[in-house]
Amino acid sequence: MKDESWGVALRTMVNVSVWIAFPIIVGLYLGKWLDNRFETSPWLFLTTMAVSFFISIYGLTVHALREFKRIDREQHSSEKKIVTKSTNSQQNTNREDKNID
């Protein structure tokens, strides 16, 4: 269980880092290139950075919602396992009591 949680944490950290860094880096270089190409400094750079920011926010939100749903599913499945185990234990105890009588 402990090794599994490290894997989940590492995967989440990498995904969040990519959603923050990749759009910003692409926007930075694309904005600089567009400004040099069309001589519109700094307007296209600022525009691409704003678009990159919104792309990052969108990606982080979608990723967070997916993770919340996955965690919720895992919690419900573990709760069902616990209920099933306790029900099975009670049934076994009841059977043993009947066998004793």
Model pLDDT, residue 6:
85
Which domain does 26 fall in, by range? Answer: 2-100
SS3 at position 38: helix
Q: How does pLDDT run along the chain (101 residues), one tens digit per residue?
A: 456 778 888 988 999 999 999 999 999 999 999 999 999 999 999 999 999 999 999 999 999 999 889 888 888 887 776 666 666 666 666 565 565 65
Q: How high is the pLDDT of residue 2?
A: 57
Q: Tally the domains of the chain.
A: 1
CB-neighbour burial class of residue 53 (10 A; exposed 0-12, middle 13-18, buried 19+): middle
pLDDT for position 78: 78
What integer pLDDT is reported at residue 97 of this predicted model? 57
